[in-house]
Amino acid sequence: MQSRNFWLPREVILGLAFGLLLVVPAIVFGGSQTIYVDKDASGTEDGTSAHPYHTISKALKNSDGGTEVRVKNGTYKENITIPKGVDVVGDSKKRDKVVIESDNDDKPTVTMKHDTALSHVTVKGGRHGVRILEDAKAHIFDAVIKKSDRDGIHIDSASRDKKHRVLIDKTEIKNNDRAGIFSEKRFIVIINSDIVSNGSDGIDLALGTKAWFENNRFNDNKGSGAKLTLDGASIFSKKNSFRNNKREGIEVSAYGAAGTIELKRASFVSNDRHGVARVARTAAGTRMFGNLSFGIGINASRFDANSLGSLSSIVKGF
C-alpha cells in the first residue's frame, strides 16, 4: 500500500518535469557564450563562427561555465573532458553527422564533469564511451554511444538528489563490449532510449539506486536487459521493453535490506531465460521480494515466450 500511495504523485511530478525538459530544450542547452569548432577550417583559430577552433579539445580549454561548444559536421578523433558548466552540441542537430572517436582507448572517449551536457553527437570507442564523474550532474540528449571497450556509459557515485541527477534522453547505446550503462549509487533518469546489442547487460545498477525509466528498449543484449539490486532501491518505470536478451529480461538481486522496484506496462518477451529472475544473495534476501511489482489492470506488464517462464522462483545465490 505504501508503494501505491508513493507512485501516483511521483509519476505525475516526474512526468511534468520531463515534459518541460522536452518542450524547452533551449533551457537545458542554452549558454551565455558560444564557441565554434570545425575540423575542416583553416587559418586563425579564435572560436568565432568565422575562425572556429579545429579540435573540440582546444575549444574546451578555452571554455568556462555557461559556454556552448558547437561542433560542425565531421569525425573528431580525440578524447575530450567537458569542463564544469559547459555543453557540447552537434551543430547540425543530426547525431550521426558529428562523430567523436577515441584517440586513446585506455581513456573514456568523453568525460563529463558537473553540470555538463552532450547532444546531437555520436561517441565511438574508448575505455568507456562516456564517463560521468563522481558527484557530477549530466545530461545526454539525442546521442549514439557505441563500440567502447567496456561500458557505453559509466556513471560514478553521487548523492541521490536532483542536483546530481543523470538524465539520458533519446539516446542509442549499442555494441559496447560490456554493459550499455553501468552506474554506481545515484539518481538516474532514462527516457526514450535504446540500450541494445551490448556485450553483457543492457543496464547494471548498484544497490541503493534511485531511478525513473520510461519508454526505453533494453533489447538484444548478451546478458540481461537490466540487472538491478533491490536493497535501498527506489526504481519506478513505465512502458519499457525487455526483449530477446540472452539471459533474463531483468535480473533482480536482494541481499536483505528493503527497497522498491515497480515496473508498469513493461514487456518481457522472448528472453533466453526468464522474463524476470529473482536472486537472493543472502538468506535474509529470500524474504525481500514483496516490493518488486509489475503493475495491475491497464498498467500490468506483459510476459510472453520467455524460454524458462515469466517469473523465476527465488534462486539462492549464496
* Residues 189, 263 within the same domain: no
Model confidence over 140-165: pLDDT tens digits? 999 999 999 999 999 999 999 999 99
Beta bridge partner(s), residue 33: 67
Please name the amino acid found at residue 64: D
Q: How far is CA 195 from CA 68, 83, 105, 144, 172, in A?
A: 27, 26, 22, 10, 6
pLDDT interval class at 10 (50, 70, 90)? low
Segment (H or E) for 172: strand 172-174
- Residue 54, judged by CB atoms within 10 A of its CB (0-12, 13-18, 19+), counts as middle
Q: Same domain, yes or no, for 174 and 265?
A: no
Residues 226 and 185 in one domain: no
> Which pLDDT score, from 0 to 100, does residue 290 have?
95
Residues 83 and 174 in one domain: yes
- Is pLDDT above 90 for 20? no
Q: Is the pLDDT of residue 9 over 60?
A: no
Same-domain pairing of 190 and 209: no
Under 8 Å CB-to-CB from 154, ≥6 apart: which residues? 108, 128, 130, 131, 132, 182, 183
- pLDDT of 137 strictly over 70: yes
Domain boundary among 152, 180, 199: 199
Are 184 and 212 within one domain?
no
Per the CB < 8 A criterion, the answer to whether 101 and 71 are in contact is: no
Q: Which pLDDT does position 16 carry in this prediction?
A: 44
Q: Which residues pair with 242 in a beta bridge?
A: 268
> Do residues 217 and 258 both lie within one domain?
yes
Taking only Cα atoms into account, the Rg of the chain, rounded to an integer number of angstroms, comes to: 20
Q: How far apart are CA 300 and CA 281, in angstroms?
A: 27
Asked whether the beta carbons of 166 and 183 are under 8 A apart, the reply is yes
Average of pLDDT values for 105-114?
98
- The pLDDT value recorded for residue 30 is 44
Phi/psi at 22 (5° precision): -75, -35
Identify the domain containing residue 251 by its residue range: 201-318
Domain with residue 101: its CATH number is: 2.160.20.10
pLDDT at 308 over 50: yes
Given a cut of 50, is residue 8 above it in pLDDT?
A: no
pLDDT for residue 5 is more than 90: no
Backbone angles phi, psi at 216, to 5 degrees: -115, 165
Q: Based on the domain organization, do 27 and 101 belong to the same domain?
A: yes
- Domain finish residue from 175, 199, 223: 199
Task: Of 129, 162, 170, give the one whose Cα is nearest residue 17.
Answer: 162
Three-state DSSP state, 223: coil
The reported pLDDT for the residue numbered 154 is: 98
Tens of pLDDT, residue by residue over 259-279, are 999 999 999 999 999 999 999
Same domain, residue pair 102 and 179: yes
Q: Which of 173, 199, 225 is the last residue of a domain?
A: 199
pLDDT for res 223:
98
| Whether pLDDT at 7 is above 60 | no
Q: What CA–CA distance (Å, rounded) separates 25 from 191? A: 14
6 lies in the same domain as 93? yes
pLDDT score, position 192: 98
What is the domain count for the chain?
A: 2
Q: Exposure of 85 by Cβ count < 10 A (0-12 exposed, 13-18 middle, 19+ buried)?
A: middle
Region 14-32: what's the mean pLDDT?
Answer: 45
Distances from the Cα of 39 to the Cαs of 54, 71, 75, 97, 304, in angstroms? 4, 9, 8, 13, 49
247 secondary structure, DSSP code: S
Same domain, 195 and 294: no
Q: Are residues 6 and 142 in the same domain?
A: yes
User: What is the enclosing helix (H) or strand (E) of 21?
Assistant: helix 2-23
pLDDT confidence band for 173 (50 / 70 / 90): very high
